[in-house]
Amino acid sequence: MDINIYINDDKISINKPTVKKKYNPVVKSRSELFSHVDFRYTDIFKYNPLRWSNRTANILDTRGIKSYYDLASCTALQILKWKNAGRKTLTEVQCILEILGLQLREDI
């Protein structure tokens, strides 16, 4: 252990270096993070791990999609057919759903 000794005039001071605590973040799985969320009734505008882009938020609002359950029940093809929605909107929706452990309905 290192000790710093300072001598000033007639004073002698000894300082022990402070030990910095290492930050150990607690990593939780998706199921632990979102276990309290019921996606059938969760408002997509109030609960969002990331912020929707303005374009995507406007599209979802125009389409009347209010919950993640409504959003996950759409297919990729349906989203691409919406007015003002393109591949970037689709990618954003898929990424946010993936973070929440959800996915879009499969195309039939």
Would you state the structure tokens that stand for residue 90, as one six-digit string?
Answer: 């689709």
d(CA 69, CA 81): 19
Highest mean pLDDT among 6-10, 28-32, 42-46, 101-105: 101-105
Q: Is the dihedral of CA 43, 47, 48, 54 positive or negative?
A: positive
Predicted pLDDT of residue 62: 92
pLDDT digit string, tens, across residues 36-92? 667 667 777 777 767 888 899 899 999 998 888 889 899 999 999 999 999 999 999
Q: Where are the domains of the chain?
A: 28-99
Report d(CA 29, CA 82) in Å as an integer: 33
Question: pTM of the prediction?
Answer: 0.64
8 A C-beta contact, residue 27 and residue 54: no
Q: Which CATH superfamily is domain 28-99 in?
A: 5' to 3' exonuclease, C-terminal subdomain (1.10.150.20)
Structure confidence at residue 23 as a pLDDT band (50, 70, 90): low
